[in-house]
Amino acid sequence: GENVEQHPSTLSVQEGDSAVIKCTYSDSASNYFPWYKQELGKGPQLIIDIRSNVGEKKDQRIAVTLNKTAKHFSLHITETQPEDSAVYFCAPRKGYSTLTFGKGTMLLVSP
């Protein structure tokens, strides 16, 4: 099965700084790369995703970049705000298979 690793496991930044979380996967056939955000007391929610035919995708302050050769993709958050504080999960997938979640990165944004 897919092996997924996320780094770092925790990340503390000051409000306004940028944050980057990296996800490394093992299955070169993976072709769908989402990031989910889980706020305290809630279920995970999709915030951005990318498919294997695209190298980068942006949505306002968040972006995802994909390096298929190196088998990793990253979440970039610019101008961080306290409401960005949450746990972020990557979950690469191949075709119609189920998502394999990384162990999560806890992001803390201090005012």
Partner 1 sequence: DSGVTQTPKHLITATGQRVTLRCSPRSGDLSVYWYQQSLDQGLQFLIQYYNGEERAKGNILERFSAQQFPDLHSELNLSSLELGDSALYFCASSVPAGELFFGEGSRLTVL
Residues that bind partner 1 (CB under 8 A): 32, 34, 36, 41-46, 49, 89, 95-104
Closest CB to partner 1 among residues 42, 69: 42
Mind giving me the DSSP string for 53-101?
T-SEEEETTEEEEEETTTTEEEEEE-S--GGG-EEEEE--B-TTSPP--
Closest approach, Cβ 89 to partner 1, in A, equals 6
CB 22 within 8 A of CB 6: yes
Closest approach, Cβ 51 to partner 1, in A, equals 11
Closest CB to partner 1 among residues 7, 78: 7
